[in-house]
């Protein structure tokens, strides 16, 4: 028995049931109070801010270092040219 793309043992064995469970709407019958709601919203905002700042740190600081190194190299070259 050969298993195809969506056969038993393939990626579909996990993906399809998980997708079916996620897409089935079910009423929660639960109450989220204002304290828990604000905490959840604040947590999501803090997580998003942390991710954005991490990306900025990984991108901006190497660029900043390269610009600083290039500027220092230019000033060293300019000072050598004026001395000659």
- Tell me what pLDDT residue 44 has: 97
Number of neighbouring beta carbons within 10 Å of residue 10: 13
Radius of gyration of the chain (CA): 28
Structure-model confidence comparison of residues 1 and 56, the more confident one:
56
- Tell me what pLDDT residue 54 has: 93
Q: How far apart are CA 42 and CA 47, in angstroms?
A: 9
- Tell me what pLDDT residue 1 has: 47
- Tell me what pLDDT residue 6 has: 54
Q: How confident is the model at residue 3 (pLDDT cuts 50, 70, 90)?
A: low
Note the pLDDT tens digit of each residue in 13-67. 788 888 888 888 777 778 889 999 999 999 999 999 999 999 988 998 889 899 9
């Amino acid at each position: 028995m050969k298993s195809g793309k969506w056969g038993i043992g393939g990626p579909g064995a996990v993906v399809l049931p998980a997708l079916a469970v996620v897409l089935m709407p079910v009423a929660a019958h639960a109450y989220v109070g204002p304290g828990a709601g604000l905490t959840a919203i604040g947590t999501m905002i803090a997580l998003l801010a942390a991710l954005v700042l991490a990306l900025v740190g990984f991108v901006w600081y190497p660029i900043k270092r390269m610009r600083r190194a290039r500027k220092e190299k230019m000033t060293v070259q300019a000072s050598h040219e004026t001395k000659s």
